[in-house]
Amino acid sequence: MKNSKRAIYIVSFFSMILLGGMLNSCQQDEFAYAKVGDLFQPKFVLTAPVVKSNSIAVVWYKVNNAVSYTVELHMDNYYSSLFKSYTITDTQILMNNIPYKTQFYIRVRANSDNPKFNSQWAYTNALTEERPAYASILNKVEKVNITENEVTATWIIDAQNPVDSISVAPAQSKELPAIGRKLTANEISKGEATITGLEKNTLYNLNVFDNNKPGTYDKPYNQVIFRSAGPSAETIIVTNGMDLDALLRANNTDPAIPEGTEYFLEAGSLFKITPFTISKGFKLIGGTQGERPQIEMNGNWNIAEGSYLTALAFENIRFYQTIDASYFMNSGNSWTLGEISFYNCVFNHFKRGFWRHQGNGKYKEIGSLDMSYCTFDEVGGHTGPYGTFAFGSAGADNVKSAVFSNCTFMRDYYQTTDKNRNFKNLFDYGSSAYPIHLEYQNITIYDYAYNRSLINLPSAVGSTLIFKNVLLASACGKVIQSIAANSTTEFSNNYTTTDYLLGASAIKGTELGISAQNLFVNPTAGDLTIKDANSPIVTNKVGDVRWLP
């Protein structure tokens, strides 16, 4: 027994020697523990940055051994859109002369003399204030003033708001150059200028400036967006009798078919489609040499998870649904869409909603949404309607701009006499905190959104709502259900009939004192032509101008 115990002790002793040698060896190889020299993460002095006008101040405590600090301003909360970067030695920074009314995502890092030991980022965010009042003198660009490689801009001549230069800049592509120049004396006197050298079929931002103003972001007046003319990457002619559904589905997954392909639909044709999940942008353009083409839908579009679509466009088409719980778009995925446009389209029989987002926290971004000369008629009627535009991604919806002009919304309890089955809203932004530019101009609303609020922007701090030249001939509820702090509203030249029971004062409007039945030729049959050519609706060009006699 003693010998066996002795043997165990000897084995244990040699094991300890071997283990000590192994530990000593590990200290000399790559597995040895390295002393950590990382700097501490900066800690902010204040709970939030200080914002004044278009300046942001950030202060943090000194980090020992830091040789400098890097401060980054980003345009998104994923920190993938860098606006500006600063490297400084102080523990505070004033970032001035940056864009107004913009949500910035800020991060600060302590830098070591050896970049290997730089600290982790510290994160915060801030929203710059609304730009002080300035003149909106630049006019919207009409299609007649746009060609493939040039645009003619016009503006209001005002001695108090001089213009000395003009520019167009690509709205999405960073590769294409911006074009800008000083205006000639003749152009300044006429309030009109033409810019040449544009790329075909490209989205542009147009600005005119007063360069005598000192601040960079105080120089421009209001901005307008337009798309240059020209064919898409590819145009496919679709004639009556062709299978549009099969064609769209096949090309959606065919890598040889480019993004932005245009499908030109023969006038007077009828197509039946089962909408699918879109993975690349396209355009459906209806011919104008006859009745607008019709597309019968038995489902709703979706967009593929993680997709980036440059554009979706629909022009001169009548769309109608054949299923009960129907939408045009209903998506619970995450994606980015550069622009979506609807022009001269009619939408019928969408019973539950038109454009709906869902999916808790599923981020969806739309750069610009433009709808003009469109009509919603005989929609709604479902027992659980969501409305015209309903954004329900639990705050993850980011619509930068939505502009509606010369549109009609009417008769929204299709196939039922129960007006409570109506479309619930025009635009419900849900709980999104991303600021939006929302605009309704020259809109006619008749027998729509009964007893419902039209617009809901409860959380989008710093948004803009423009509501002008609107004819409200419906027993709607409040125009605005809720609007977030620091938002700007503009109401002008709005009119109401006696059907709108809340009165016109809330929208700075004028009460006509007559009903829709007396104002329109035959509203119950869908004819909203103004009866009286001397009506203020006609003389002031209010509502959808297509109804003016």
List the CATH number of the domain containing 204: 2.60.40.10
Question: Is residue 22 in a domain?
Answer: no
Whole-number Cα distances in Å, 349 to 19, 68, 167, 319, 331? 80, 62, 43, 9, 19
Average pLDDT over residues 334-356: 96
One domain, residues 320 and 467 = yes
Looking at residue 161, what is its pLDDT? 96
Given a cut of 60, is residue 17 above it in pLDDT?
A: no
Tokens of 484: 């977030």
User: Which residues span the domain enclosing 335?
Assistant: 299-547
197 and 254 share one domain:
no
**Coil/strand/helix, residue 494:** strand
Are residues 60 and 207 part of one domain?
Answer: no
Q: Same domain for 331 and 345?
A: yes
Residue that terminates a domain, selected from 74, 97, 127: 127
Q: What is the pLDDT of residues 213-270, one digit of tens each?
A: 999 999 999 999 888 887 666 789 999 999 999 999 999 999 889 888 999 999 999 9
Asked if residue 58 belongs to a domain, the reply is yes
pLDDT at 3 over 80: no
- The answer on 342 and 459 residing in a single domain is yes
168: burial class by Cβ within 10 Å (0-12, 13-18, 19+)?
A: buried
pLDDT surpassing 80 at residue 9? no
Residue 95 covered by a domain: yes
First CA to last CA across the chain, in angstroms?
Answer: 118
Asked if residue 486 and residue 456 are part of one domain, the reply reads: yes
Tell me the helix, strand and coil percentages in the chain, rounded to 5: 15, 40, 50
Overall size of the chain counted in residues: 549
The radius of gyration of the chain's CA atoms, rounded to the nearest angstrom, is 30
What is the dihedral sign for C-alpha 7, 13, 16, 22?
Answer: negative
Tens of pLDDT, residue by residue over 261-306, are 999 999 999 999 999 999 999 999 999 889 999 999 999 999 999 9
Last residue within a domain, chosen from 72, 96, 127: 127
Phi and psi angles of residue 115, each rounded to the nearest 5 degrees, phi first: -55, -20
- Summarize the confidence of residues 374-382 as an average pLDDT: 96
Listed residue (301, 398, 326, 396) closest to 358, CA to CA: 396
- What letter would DSSP give residue 422? S
**Tens-place pLDDT, residues 306-335:** 998 989 999 999 999 999 989 999 999 999
Q: How far apart are CA 2 and CA 168, in angstroms?
A: 97
Residues 158 and 119 in one domain: no
pTM of the model: 0.66
Number of helical H runs and strand E runs in the chain: 5, 41
Structure tokens at 104: 């910035």
- Is 245 inside any structural domain? yes
The answer to whether 511 and 496 have CB atoms below 8 angstroms apart is yes
In a domain? residue 38: no
Q: What is the mean predicted confidence (pLDDT) over 494-507?
A: 94
346 and 461 in one domain? yes
Question: What whole-number distance in Å separates Cα of residue 225 and Cα of residue 202?
Answer: 11
Is 111 a member of any domain?
yes
Average pLDDT, the chain: 91
464, two tokens: 């803009």
Last residue of a domain, one of 271, 298, 325: 298
Question: What's residue 128's pLDDT?
Answer: 94
Sign of the dihedral through C-alpha 121, 125, 126, 127: positive
pLDDT per residue over 44-81, tens digit each? 999 999 999 999 999 999 999 999 999 999 988 889 88
pLDDT tens-digit profile of 117-163? 999 999 999 999 989 999 999 998 987 799 889 999 999 999 999 99
The per-residue pLDDT for range 440-460, each reduced to its tens digit, is 999 999 999 999 999 999 999
The verdict on residue 28 lying in a domain is no
Same domain, 321 and 464: yes
Can you give the pLDDT at residue 232?
Answer: 62
The single-letter DSSP state of residue 324 is S
Q: What does the pLDDT read at residue 36?
A: 62
Q: CB of 70 within 8 A of CB of 86?
A: yes
> Tens digit of pLDDT for each residue in 74-92?
988 889 889 999 999 999 9
Q: Say whether both 55 and 95 belong to one domain.
A: yes
Regarding whether 357 and 252 lie in a shared domain, the answer is: no
Give, as one character, the DSSP assignment of residue 323: S
The tens digit of pLDDT for each residue in 390-444 reads 999 999 999 999 999 999 999 999 999 999 999 999 999 999 999 999 999 999 9
Number of domains in the chain: 4
Sequence letter at residue 292:
R
CB count, 10 Å around CB of 197?
Answer: 9
* Residue 253 resides in a domain: yes
Whether 148 and 199 share a structural domain:
yes
